[in-house]
A and B are shown apart, each in its own frame.
Chain A
Amino acid sequence: MNQEMEDFALDVEVGANRVFEFTHEGKKTKLFTRHLAGKDYYSFDEKRWVKLPKLGANEVLVSNAETYRVFRGFKPSGLHAGGAGALITQMPGKVVKLFKKEGDTVAKGETVLILEAMKMENEIKSGADGFIKAINIKEGQALEAGFLMVEIEE
Chain B
Amino acid sequence: MKGKRVLIINRGEIAIRVAKALNELGLISVGVWTDNETEPPHLEYCQEWVHLAGSNNKETYLDIPKIMKIIEDYKIDGVHPGYGFLSENREFSETLAKKGITFIGPNPDAVYKMGAKDISKQIAKEAGVPVVPGSTGEVDSVEEAIKIGNEIGYPVLLKAVAGGGGKGMRPCYNEKDVKENFSAVQREALSSFGYAGLLVEKYVLNPHHIEVQILADKKGNVYHVFERECSVQRRHQKIIEEAPSPFIGADEAVRKAICETAVKCAKAVNYDSAGTVEFIMGEDKKFYFLEMNTRIQVEHPITEEITGVDLVANMIKAAFGESLDFNSQEDIKIQGHAIELRICAEDPISMLPAPGKIVGFETTFPQGIRFDHCIYPKFAITPDFDPMIGKLIAKGFNREVALRKVKNALDGLIIDGIKTNIPLHKVILEEENFVKGKYSTNYIGTVKPQEKVPVKDSIESFMVKIAGIELNQMGGVK
CB distance from B366 to the nearest CB of A (A): 15
Q: A54-B360, A58-B359 are in contact. Are A10 and B463 (CB under 8 A)?
A: yes
Within the complex, the shortest CB–CB distance from A91 to chain B, in Å, comes to 15
Q: Is there contact, CB below 8 Å, between A65 and B462?
A: no
Contact A55–B478 (Cβ < 8 Å) = no
CB of A136 within 8 Å of the partner chain: no
A contacts with B: majority SS: strand
Q: How far is the CA of A42 from the CA of B470 in the complex (A)?
A: 13
- Least CB distance from B289 to A in Å reads 38
Contact of B419 among A24, A42, A65, A85 (CB under 8 A): A65
Report A52 CB to chain B, min CB distance, Å: 5
Q: Which residues of chain B are within 8 angstroms of A54 by Cβ–Cβ distance?
A: 360, 362, 377, 468, 471-472
* Complex Cα gap A65–B357 (Å): 15
In the assembled complex, which residues on chain A have CB atoms less than 8 Å from the CB atom of B469?
55-58, 61, 70, 86
Decide if B466 touches A12 in the complex (CB within 8 Å).
yes
Residue of B nearest to A64 (CB): B423
Q: A3-B455, A40-B477, A62-B418 are in contact. Are A52 and B349 (CB under 8 A)?
A: no
For B462, the chain A residues whose CB sits under 8 A away are 10, 61, 63, 68, 88
Q: Are A62 and B417 in contact (CB under 8 A)?
A: yes
- A40, B457: Cα distance in complex, Å: 21
Complex Cα distance, B366 from A113, in Å, reads: 48
Within 8 A of B (CB), among A32-52: 33-35, 40-42, 44, 51-52
Closest approach, in angstroms, between the C-beta of B408 and any C-beta of chain A?
A: 15
Query: Is A63 a contact of B457 with CB atoms below 8 Å?
Result: yes
Chain B residues with Cβ under 8 A from A26's Cβ? none
Point out the residues of chain A lying under 8 angstroms from B451, CB to CB.
1
Q: Which residues of A contact B476 (CB under 8 A)?
A: 35, 40
Task: Answer yes or no: B254 CB below 8 A from chain A CBs.
Answer: no
Q: Which residue of A lies closest to B469 (CB)?
A: A55
Complex Cα distance A20/B473, Å? 14
Partner of B468, one of A53, A64, A85, A145: A53
Which of A66, A86, A145 makes the CB contact (< 8 A) with B455?
Answer: A66
Q: B284 an interface residue at 8 Å Cβ cutoff? A: no
| Chain B residues within 8 Å of chain A by Cβ, number | 43
Q: Are A44 and B460 also in contact (CB < 8 A) when A65-B348, A70-B469 are? A: yes
Q: Which of A33, A57, A88 has the most CB of B within 10 A?
A: A33
* A53 contacts B362, C-beta separation under 8 Å: yes
Interchain nearest-CB distance for B220 vs A (Å): 52
Chain A residue numbers with a CB within 8 Å of B455 are 1-3, 64-66
Residue of B whose beta carbon sits closest to that of A61: B465
CB distance from A74 to the nearest CB of B (A): 15
A93→B335 CA distance, assembly (Å) = 55
When distances are taken between beta carbons in the complex, the residues of chain A under 8 Å from B471 are 18, 33, 40, 52, 54
Per the bound structure, the CA–CA distance linking A13 and B73 in Å amounts to: 59
Given the interface pairs A35-B477, A62-B416, the reply to whether A56 lies near B349 with Cβ below 8 Å is no
The reply to whether B463 and A55 contact each other, CB–CB distance below 8 Å, is no
Q: Is A149 an interface residue (CB 8 A)?
A: no
* A and B contact pairs by CB, cutoff 8 A, 19 listed: A10-B466, A12-B466, A20-B466, A22-B466, A33-B471, A35-B476, A35-B478, A40-B476, A40-B477, A42-B467, A52-B464, A54-B362, A55-B416, A56-B359, A57-B359, A57-B473, A61-B465, A64-B454, A67-B419
Which A residues contact B (CB, under 8 angstroms)?
Answer: 1-3, 10, 12, 14, 18, 20, 22, 24, 29, 31, 33-35, 40-42, 44, 51-58, 60-68, 70, 85-86, 88, 145
